[in-house]
Amino acid sequence: MNASHYNILVDKLESRGIDTAWVIDQLKQQHIETPSWGYGNSGTRFKTFAWQGAARNIHEKLQDAGYIHRLTGVAPSVAIHIPWDKADDYDALKEFASQQGVVIGAVNPNLFQDDDYKLGSITHPSGAVRENAFAHMVECCEIMAKTGSTLLSLWFADGTNYAGQDSISARKERMESALLAVYPHMPADARMLIEYKFFEPAFYHTDLADWGMAYATALKVGDRAQVLVDTGHHAQGTNIAHIVAFLLSEGRLGGFHFNARRYADDDLIVGTNNPQELFEIYFELVAAGPRSKDVAFMIDQSHNIEPKLEAMLLSIINCQIAYAKALIVDFKTLRERQMAGDVLGTHMILMDAYHTDVRPLLEKARQEMGVPEDPVAYYRGDTYAQRVASERGVASGAGGGYPT
């Protein structure tokens, strides 16, 4: 760590009344969950390029996740997707995860890959298909209990392709009644996260197309039902920070799926083409204070041409940078200028934090956590990736995730 860079930054922050020790402490407590499917091969509908060393099963995914956590200190949990990550013995899986230094995080039922789900899952016109989808969600609640997970993370590919294909209002009612029925199956302390997406794979309407629909549904389902914001699931130009502020104020922001997008649900490395948007989101989270304490921060990305472990590291680091910038906002002066109606003065306070190089703060936090100060440099100098490449070779299938 460059001590003079760090000291100059600390002086600047302290002169504005920002407590650097508090900032470092917050950075050490940051928690970013990585997705099991980000460690396996995945691709687009055109091609999946197999990656040498990509994890082939849940054990290898947990092993990789453990490595990422050792390098960053802030990624101690892993989201799983069922049946991609199905195990015979969940006690053993939990134990294996803990040996890797991680825990099982959100459980994601897969309600989109079976042939039966062509016309939907819990909103399907056929009661028999709806029953199967419901049973799968209950199975996931049981897996939560066995693995110690407290998050049931729900995303539905349900929707229609053509006007008139099915009754939109009937589907809405099917959705609500299924979620109401699943809710009591969750472990007592668990939360249901309801994710929305405005299109894809359905192209006329999606049953939960936006945050408002997910929010209205959560209100009906119960106190522990909340909205999950996937940053790739909005139309161009949507102000995600506003959605975040609104849901936080309502106590219904359950969590995030972070990724970057330019066109559709691109699932690219977090913060690569939207660093300011990511900062604005973190600013709202910090501004909300204790109201954001239970928000689950998860990454949901799929790597097609990029090295998976390095991609995951970059996403985590970009979340750390955005958070650090939000933590150093001079909130006191900001509030004063807001009250004075100083339109550009307020904006400049925010942008000053955004333009600050916060990397010395992160280096300090990493030093105190006992992890490499520069995780990417460490990874590049380490043999882990080569070792797993030679041990695992090239998986023939998608390894859990997306079809080849």
Positions in the binding site for ligand PSV (CB under 6 A): 37, 108, 155, 195, 197, 230, 257, 265, 300
Residue whose Cβ sits closest to Mn ion: 257
Q: Which is nearer to ligand PSV, 277 or 300 (CB)?
A: 300
Which of Mn ion, ligand PSV, none binds 108 (CB below 5-8 Å, type-dependent)? ligand PSV
Q: Which is nearer to Mn ion, 233 or 366 (CB)?
A: 233
- Strand-strand pairing, 205-206 and 159-160: antiparallel
Token couple for 112: 């989109």
Q: Which is nearer to ligand PSV, 253 or 327 (CB)?
A: 253
Please state the length of the chain. 404
Residue 235: count other Cβ atoms within 10 Å of its Cβ: 10
Nearest-approach distance from CB 226 to ligand PSV, in angstroms = 15
Rounded CA separation 166/170 (Å): 8
Instruction: Build a one-symbol-per-residue string for 79-108: x at contacts with Mn ion by CB under 5 A, - elsewhere.
Output: ------------------------------
Q: Which is nearer to ligand PSV, 174 or 197 (CB)?
A: 197
CA distances from 129 to 34, 135, 285, 386 (A): 31, 10, 39, 44
Longest dimension (CA), the chain: 67
Stretch that binds Mn ion, among 81-89, 157-165, 253-261, 391-399 (CB under 5 A): 253-261
CA Rg, the chain, in Å?
Answer: 21
- Respond yes or no on whether the N-terminal peptide bond of residue 290 is cis (omega within 30° of 0): no
Token couple for 82: 């069922």
Nearest-approach distance from CB 87 to ligand PSV, in angstroms = 18
Nearest-approach distance from CB 22 to ligand PSV, in angstroms = 33
Residue 77 Ramachandran class (φ > 0 left, ψ -120 to 50 alpha, else beta): beta
Q: Which is nearer to ligand PSV, 84 or 354 (CB)?
A: 84
Nearest-approach distance from CB 324 to ligand PSV, in angstroms = 26
From the list 321, 280, 330, the residue with the least C-alpha distance to 18 is: 330
Rounded CA separation 211/239 (Å): 12
- Strand-strand pairing, 77-82 and 253-258: unpaired
Residue 257 binding Mn ion, by CB under 5 A: yes
Q: Which is nearer to ligand PSV, 111 or 285 (CB)?
A: 111
- Strand-strand pairing, 34-35 and 77-82: parallel
Q: Which is nearer to ligand PSV, 100 or 153 (CB)?
A: 153
Residue 267 binding Mn ion, by CB under 5 A: no
From the list 191, 238, 183, the residue with the least C-alpha distance to 210 is: 238
Q: Which is nearer to ligand PSV, 95 or 200 (CB)?
A: 200
Please say whether the beta carbons of 109 and 117 come within 8 A.
no
Stretch that binds Mn ion, among 257-265, 334-342, 349-357, 381-389 (CB under 5 A): 257-265
Residue whose Cβ sits closest to ligand PSV: 155
Residue 300 binding Mn ion, by CB under 5 A: yes
Nearest-approach distance from CB 208 to ligand PSV, in angstroms = 11
From the list 303, 344, 350, the residue with the least C-alpha distance to 322 is: 350
Which of Mn ion, ligand PSV, none binds 265 (CB below 5-8 Å, type-dependent)? ligand PSV
Phi then psi for 103, rounded to 5 degrees? -125, 165
Nearest-approach distance from CB 256 to Mn ion, in angstroms = 9
Of 230, 267, 277, 280, which one interacts with Mn ion (CB under 5 A)? 230
Return residues touching Mn ion (CB under 5 A). Answer: 230, 257, 300
